[in-house]
């Protein structure tokens, strides 16, 4: 049984009536697991494939809406294609990890967080990027639980347009790589106005992926005022108090500007195609 057969079995879910979902799923999920192995999954990647099918099986058995089945089927096919096309890299990276960390990717919390960001995803493009992030994370054995789990939680919150806006701010100081995009082209192609663009940037700022220059100025102004007040209080009660100079405050612009954070840059590095990944 080859990869085409694997896709065919997955596609059966989309054409099955709601009343026959449980029966069809029960009949085909074991075959899908077998088909994935026959499609070329070997070594550590085969353990990952087992874990993926095993994890989504309970959800597949409970699905009763056709559109959800078609979406899950589509996303699983993308996932299988991406893993199989990078099989050698997946095996190499999994094999290089300590056993406890490898288990998190194949049958544990990392796999579960990854699947949560993929199975019900509406945008196919995001599924591919999330699979890239999953594979690329394997290259960083030092990435802790907090980072990996937060990564996939954040990716599930970001839609395609959010990511495009984040990419518009991308700059890697090591490689000098910049985004091949522009504000005017983004506005025209996406059909949004500046207020919508500003809202997206504010969202990215809340997630810690962009930082506001105005917010940075406010924090510095607040620190300057606090220092001046502390200095003033320290002079109280002295025979010859020295009145501190008023703090120099930075002007807050009426139009805010944003720059990408190290976290935002790292996220973009991780969702790039596996072969194109650079040090995050």
Q: pLDDT tens across 139-180, in order?
A: 987 788 999 999 999 999 999 999 999 998 886 655 555 677
Beta bridge partners of 259: 211
208: confidence class by pLDDT, cuts 50, 70, 90: very high
pLDDT of 206 reads: 93
pTM over 0.75? The answer is no
Distance, in Å, from the CA atom of 232 to the CA atom of 74, rounded to the nearest integer, reads 66
Rounded to the nearest integer, the mean pLDDT of the chain is 75
Instruction: For residue range 17-50, list pLDDT tens digits in order.
Output: 333 433 444 444 555 555 555 556 666 666 666 6
CA 167 vs CA 1, 95, 142: distances in Å: 40, 32, 25
Average pLDDT over residues 108-132: 91
Q: What percent of the chain has pLDDT over 90?
A: 34
pLDDT of 180 reads: 76
Better-predicted residue by pLDDT, 250 or 252: 250
Distance, in Å, from the CA atom of 225 to the CA atom of 180, rounded to the nearest integer, reads 41
pLDDT of 130 reads: 95
Phi-psi domain of 158 (left: phi exceeds 0; alpha: psi -120 through 50; beta: other) = beta
CA 198 to chain centroid, in Å, comes to 21
Distance, in Å, from the CA atom of 30 to the CA atom of 45, rounded to the nearest integer, reads 17
Distance, in Å, from the CA atom of 9 to the CA atom of 227, rounded to the nearest integer, reads 68
Calculate the dihedral angle through the C-alpha atoms of 42, 44, 45, 46, rounding to the nearest 10 degrees.
60
Distance, in Å, from the CA atom of 176 to the CA atom of 114, rounded to the nearest integer, reads 30
Q: Does residue 215 surpass a pLDDT of 70?
A: no
How are the residues of the chain apportioned to helix, strand and coil, as percentages rounded to the nearest 5?
Answer: 70, 5, 30
3-state SS class at 178:
strand
- 114: which DSSP letter? H
Instruction: For residue range 56-102, list pLDDT tens digits in order.
Output: 555 554 544 566 778 888 888 888 888 888 888 999 999 999 999 99
The two tokens of residue 107 are 């049958």
- 275: which DSSP letter? G
Distance, in Å, from the CA atom of 29 to the CA atom of 35, rounded to the nearest integer, reads 10
pLDDT of 9 reads: 40
Better-predicted residue by pLDDT, 187 or 24: 187
pLDDT of 259 reads: 86
């Amino acid at each position: 049984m080859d990869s085409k057969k694997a896709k065919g079995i997955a596609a059966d879910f989309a054409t099955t009536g709601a009343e026959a979902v449980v029966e069809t799923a029960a009949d085909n999920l074991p075959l899908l697991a077998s088909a994935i192995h026959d499609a070329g999954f070997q070594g550590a990647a085969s353990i990952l494939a087992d874990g993926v099918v095993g994890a989504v099986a309970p959800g597949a058995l409970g699905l009763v809406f056709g559109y959800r089945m078609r979406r899950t089927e589509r996303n699983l096919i993308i996932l299988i294609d991406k893993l199989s096309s990078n099989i050698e890299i997946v095996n190499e990276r999994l094999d290089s990890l300590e056993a406890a960390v490898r288990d998190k990717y194949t049958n544990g919390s990392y796999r579960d967080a990854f699947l949560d960001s993929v199975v019900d995803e509406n945008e196919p493009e995001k599924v591919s990027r999330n699979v890239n992030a999953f594979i690329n994370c394997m290259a960083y054995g030092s990435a802790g639980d907090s980072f990996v789990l937060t990564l996939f939680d954040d990716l599930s919150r970001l839609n395609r347009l959010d990511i495009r806006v984040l990419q518009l701010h991308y700059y890697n100081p090591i490689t000098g790589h910049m985004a091949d995009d522009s504000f005017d082209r983004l506005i025209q192609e996406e059909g949004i106005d500046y207020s919508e663009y500003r809202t997206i940037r504010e969202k990215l700022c809340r997630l810690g992926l962009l930082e506001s220059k105005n917010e940075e100025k406010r924090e510095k102004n607040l620190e300057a005022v606090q220092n001046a007040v502390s200095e003033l209080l320290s002079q109280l009660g002295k025979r010859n108090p020295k009145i501190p100079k008023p703090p120099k405050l930075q002007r807050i612009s009426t139009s805010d500007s944003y720059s990408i954070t190290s976290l935002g840059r790292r996220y973009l590095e991780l969702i790039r195609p596996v072969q194109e990944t650079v040090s995050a």
